A and B are shown apart, each in its own frame.
Chain A
Amino acid sequence: MASQADFRDRQFLAVIGDEDSVTGLLLAGIGHVTAPPDNQKNFLVVDAKTDNSAIEAAFENFTTERKDIGIVLINQHVADRIRNRIDTYTQAFPTVLEIPSKDHPYDPEKDSVLRRVRRLFGE
């Protein structure tokens, strides 16, 4: 289980998603760029040209390497592209949350957490 100190300093959200979702969430004010030497952004814009490996690398970076992120938001259609990676992710921190996007309606059947909920209730 996550240790006590672990989530004390997790204060940012991260986004992996299409341009519109990222723009909107940045407008809400979640965007953060770390101090100049490394200039790490906490968001990644994914379009049709983005490689799956790039998405995976960003996901890896947000979930395991960076210690200041508490919630990772990921568009569901992007999550589908690295579905295997998401399904095997079971840590409590940071939380991975699948969000709907403008062009892709939300499908609760695909959500890894909702699927666990359903499985637990034997549906």
Chain B
Amino acid sequence: MSGAADREAVFPTRQSLGIMKAKLKGAETGHNLLKRKSEALTKRFREITHRIDEAKRKMGRVMQIASLSLAEVTYAVGGNIGYQIQESAKSARFRIRAKQENVSGVLLPAFEAYQTEGNNDFAMTGLGKGGQQVQRCRETYARAVEALVELASLQTAFVILDEVIKVVNRRVNAIEHVIIPRTENTIKYINSELDELDREEFYRLKKVANKKQRDTAAADVEAKKRKELLEKENETPDADHATGPTDLLAAEDDQDVIF
């Protein structure tokens, strides 16, 4: 990962540094939450897969018993009743209803079997003989179908959870491996740019200070020179004094010495 390339296109200002820091914090919080969600879902998922395995085995047994009771019916009725049953099937007595369950914000549907009252398509089946066997067979198959419905809802939950877990894990990974490093890179970039600006600023200030110092030094020298000059000018009349005769009264004409 090249540090320069993988960052967001922002201007290195203090404001965007603040934004990036907030973003990093948000990403970390989101990452934590999603990770926890994924863990909760995975836990549920494992439980379901375990139950599916169990239910599939149970289904094998139940179906075996059911087929046996159907064989009994065939034997008792003394012929194949399949055709008759297929023709007389009109309206479903055994129906399912879907309800929902919420697991960490994922809606898992669950089927629930129920039997509608009062319609019986097979009232005439086994009227001649084998009515009892037919009745027993119906009950056995009803139980088998209940087991199947339960298995179906587990399976639906399995398929949905599988998908949701994939999506959540993808998000967790995206945040962990793309968004967080990129935001960190951006923060680093902004910081380095700001430091660079600081250094430039400091250097500039130093330059300015140097120049000011030099200027003051020059001004001092100038002032000193002028002072010396003035002093010299003051001294010259004194020298005249010394050479010539001193008129004390004429001293009133002396210039004021101003420093």
A residues within 8 Å of B by Cβ? 1-2, 4, 7-8, 10-13, 19-33, 41-43, 45, 70-71, 73, 90-93, 95, 97, 99-102, 106, 108, 111, 113-114, 116-117, 120-121
Cβ of A23: which chain B residues have Cβ within 8 Å of it?
70, 81-82, 85-86
Docked Cα-Cα span, A95 to B158, in Å, equals 11
B residues within 8 Å of A by Cβ? 49, 52-53, 56, 59-60, 63-64, 66-67, 70-71, 80-82, 85-86, 89-98, 107, 109, 111, 115, 121-122, 125, 134, 137-138, 141-142, 144-145, 148-149, 151-153, 155-156, 158-160, 162-164
Distance of B240 from chain A, by nearest CB (Å): 114
Q: Is the CB of A24 within 8 A of B66?
A: yes
Cβ contact of B67, chosen from A20, A31, A73, cutoff 8 A: A20
Q: Is the CB of A95 within 8 A of B152?
A: yes
Cβ of A106: which chain B residues have Cβ within 8 Å of it?
56, 59-60, 63
Distance of A90 from chain B, by nearest CB (Å): 7
Known: A1-B160, A25-B144. 12 other contacts (CB 8 A): A22-B82, A22-B86, A25-B145, A27-B138, A29-B92, A30-B92, A31-B86, A43-B89, A71-B148, A92-B160, A100-B63, A117-B49
Nearest to A116 among chain B residues (CB) is B162
Q: Is the CB of B96 within 8 A of A28?
A: no
A selection of 20 A-B contacts at a CB cut-off of 8 Å is: A1-B160, A2-B109, A11-B92, A12-B95, A19-B82, A25-B141, A28-B94, A31-B85, A32-B91, A70-B98, A70-B111, A71-B111, A90-B159, A92-B109, A92-B163, A95-B155, A113-B158, A117-B52, A117-B158, A120-B162
Cβ of A28: which chain B residues have Cβ within 8 Å of it?
94, 138, 141-142, 144-145
Q: Is the CB of A92 within 8 A of B156?
A: yes
Docked Cα-Cα span, A90 to B158, in Å, equals 11
Q: Is the CB of A27 within 8 A of B134?
A: yes
Docked Cα-Cα span, A92 to B152, in Å, equals 10
Docked Cα-Cα span, A30 to B81, in Å, equals 16
Q: Is the CB of A71 within 8 A of B90?
A: no
How many residue pairs between the two chains, A and B, have CB atoms under 8 Å in the bound complex?
Answer: 155
Cβ of A11: which chain B residues have Cβ within 8 Å of it?
92, 95-97
Cβ of B81: which chain A residues have Cβ within 8 Å of it?
23
* A114 touching B56 in the complex, CB below 8 Å, given contacts A1-B163, A28-B94, A100-B63: yes
* A24 touching B142 in the complex, CB below 8 Å, given contacts A11-B95, A32-B92, A43-B89: no
Q: Is the CB of A27 within 8 A of B60?
A: no
Docked Cα-Cα span, A30 to B149, in Å, equals 12
Distance of A58 from chain B, by nearest CB (Å): 14
* A73 touching B155 in the complex, CB below 8 Å, given contacts A20-B67, A24-B137: no
Docked Cα-Cα span, A43 to B164, in Å, equals 32
* A111 touching B85 in the complex, CB below 8 Å, given contacts A28-B144, A71-B148: no
Cβ of B121: which chain A residues have Cβ within 8 Å of it?
29, 31
Docked Cα-Cα span, A29 to B93, in Å, equals 5
* A29 touching B115 in the complex, CB below 8 Å, given contacts A7-B109, A111-B56: yes
Q: Is the CB of B96 within 8 A of A13?
A: yes
Docked Cα-Cα span, A64 to B64, in Å, equals 30
* A99 touching B63 in the complex, CB below 8 Å, given contacts A12-B95, A42-B92, A71-B152: yes
